[in-house]
Amino acid sequence: MILKTNQRKQNQKDQEYTWNKIKMLKEEDGSSKKISSTFFITLILLGASFLTYFLAVNNNFSLNEEVDKSLSCGDATPYGACSLTKPYFCEGGILIEKSSACGCSDISTKDGESCTFQYKNYSQKNSLKYIFNGKTQNIDLTVYAEMADYLYRVPRVIDYGAGEKPVRTDFKLKMINDENQKELLMPLVVQIQNLANNSVDQARIAVSIVQNIPYNYTEKKVAFAGGQIDYSLYPYEVLYFNQGICGEKSALLAFLLKEIGYNVSIFYFAEENHEVVGIKCPVEKSFRKTGYCFVETGGPAIITDSSLEYVNGIKIKSEPEIMPLSGGMSLPGDMQEYKDAKTMKNIRAGNILGFFESGKFDEIKERYGLIEEYNLL
């Protein structure tokens, strides 16, 4: 009897062991299937990520405004890739010089991780002031005397054939398209792109830098037609000498905005003998429905504000000659500048009076570092 009972208990244990074994095998099989599914999903995701990166690389890293800016530098170069501007490399959201990986331009040679070329000699440091979001800041830029000397020797004339008529736009393009000059202007563009990761803020910084360069004439003269005429500074010379007049500063700003990627023009007002920059923007926000927003360069001013008062109480009234210089992006339609420029226009016209006028004017003046009066020539 005791033997039968023990035998029965043993049989029960054997059955329980068998069923537990079967259960474990089923669970292990299910886990294997889950692991296999997870493994394949991971492979698919990795493959998609690699494909995205591969496509970006094979498009020369030129990504549009829809790219996730957290994964690219200020010029839209993806992390860990070379910029189209040599020798720059995107590292952690900042463009750094890395000629060992990215090479140099056709007119320069490697010098460590930097690049050098024939006019990059006799350096000095210039500090460039700008105002962004109401805060005054500075950019330190290394400039070179040998480049300034080279530009002084560049002829300011253009040879036209028989029957060809000189066009003002040709002279502006000549000023901003010099290949040697571009080599030493691009470091400033890169610094601006490192300060802000979106093109609108980059435009704001570029505008403010140029507006805050002191307004002043050069005393240089050049020989022309048996006499002498005033010497006109090229964009790089404006930076080197840290001064310029409206036409010279406008050429510098046009270059910077063009390289950031904007559609840019220059307005020339013959009657007032004045030049400003036009930057592409929505027609309803633009200067006299031209499709370009008015940007004063003589001193700190709000983008789109054309109600400024110049020396001797002069205001812009004539129609401009528009000189298109580059294609590219447009400013968006929701910038704070549009509202602030409209407010300033109303204040100047006397449509906003009393305490509110004073408070609003002080607020806007501080935001952009505005001045009272602007130079024309």
pLDDT at res. 66: 44
Q: Tell me if the pTM is above 0.85.
A: no
Q: Which residues make beta-bridge pairs with 82? A: 89
199 inside domain:
yes
Higher pLDDT, 297 or 27: 297
Ranges of beta strands (E only) in the chain are: 88-91, 94-97, 109-111, 114-116, 123-132, 135-144, 221-224, 227-230, 264-269, 274-280, 292-295, 321-326
Position 215 scores a pLDDT of: 95
Percent of the chain with pLDDT over 70: 78
The Cα–Cα gap between 277 and 294 comes to 6
Task: Please indicate whether residue 40 or residue 369 has the higher confidence score (pLDDT).
Answer: 369
CATH number at residue 226: 3.10.620.30
Give the total number of structural domains in the chain. 2
Do 53 and 129 lie in one domain? The reply is no
Q: Which amino acid is at 214?
A: P
Q: When comparing pLDDT for 98 and 70, which is higher?
A: 98
Residues 137 and 275 in one domain: yes
Q: Which SS3 state, helix, strand or coil, does residue 304 take? A: coil
Question: In angstroms, how far is the first alpha carbon of the chain from the final one?
Answer: 123
The structure tokens listed for 366 are: 């501080």
Task: Confirm whether 335 is domain-assigned.
Answer: yes
Q: Which of 288, 101, 117 is nearest to 186 (CA)?
A: 117
Q: Is the pLDDT of residue 4 over 60?
A: no
33 & 134 share domain:
no
Residues 144 and 122 sit within 8 Å (Cβ to Cβ):
yes
Separation CA 178–CA 233 (nearest Å): 13
- Among positive and negative, which fits the CA dihedral 34, 40, 44, 49? positive
Question: What pLDDT sits at residue 224?
Answer: 67
The pLDDT assigned to 348 comes to 85
Averaged confidence pLDDT in the chain: 84
**How confident is the model over 339-359, as pLDDT tens digits?**
999 999 988 887 765 555 667
d(Cα 184, Cα 145) in Å, to the nearest integer? 11
Tell me: do 39 and 177 sit in the same domain.
no
Query: What mean pLDDT is predicted for residues 181-202?
Result: 98
Query: With 80 as the cut, is the pLDDT of residue 60 above it?
Result: no
Total residue length of the chain: 377
Q: Are residues 31 and 134 in the same domain?
A: no
Nearest residue to 125 via CA among 148, 141, 146: 141
Going by pLDDT thresholds of 50, 70 and 90, the confidence category of residue 70 is low
Q: Are residues 53 and 185 in the same domain?
A: no
On whether residue 327 sits in a domain, the answer given is yes
Q: Which amino acid is at 66?
A: E
CB atoms within 10 A of CB 76: 21
Closest CA relative to residue 275, chosen from 300, 255, 294 = 294
**Higher-confidence position of 350 and 125:** 125
The mean pLDDT of 131-158, rounded to a whole number, is 95
Of the candidate ranges 20-29, 194-203, 297-306, the one whose mean pLDDT is the lowest: 20-29
| H or E element at residue 354 | helix 354-368
Question: Is residue 263 in some structural domain?
Answer: yes
**pLDDT band at residue 149 under the 50/70/90 scheme:** very high
Q: What is the dihedral of CA 190, 192, 194, 199, to 10 degrees?
A: -100
- Same domain? 134 vs 251: yes
The verdict on 199 and 269 lying in the same domain is yes
pLDDT at 352: 64
Quote the pLDDT of residue 61: 36
How far apart are alpha carbons 153 and 149 in whole angstroms? 7
- Does a cis peptide bond (omega within 30 degrees of 0) precede residue 187? no
Residue 125 domain-assigned (yes or no): yes
**Confidence band of 118 (pLDDT split at 50, 70, 90):** very high
181 lies in a domain? yes
Structural domain contains residue 216 = yes
The Cα–Cα gap between 85 and 192 comes to 14
Q: Are 368 and 207 in contact (CB under 8 A)?
A: no
**Does the pLDDT value for residue 14 go beyond 80?**
no
Round to whole Å and give the CA distance between 188 and 88: 13
Tell me whether residue 139 is in a domain: yes
Who has greater pLDDT, 12 or 256? 256
Residues 53, 131, single domain; the answer is no
pLDDT tens-place string over residues 219-229: 887 766 677 77
Domain hosting 362: range is 118-155+166-368
Neighbours of 303 (CB within 10 A): 25
pLDDT band at 2 (very low <50, low <70, confident <90, very high): very low
User: Dihedral of the CA atoms 177, 178, 181, 187 (nearest 10)?
Assistant: 30
Give pLDDT, residue 302: 97
214: DSSP letter:
P
Tell me, what's the pLDDT at 40? 47
Three-class DSSP category at 88? strand
Phi, psi of 178 (to 5 degrees): -60, 125
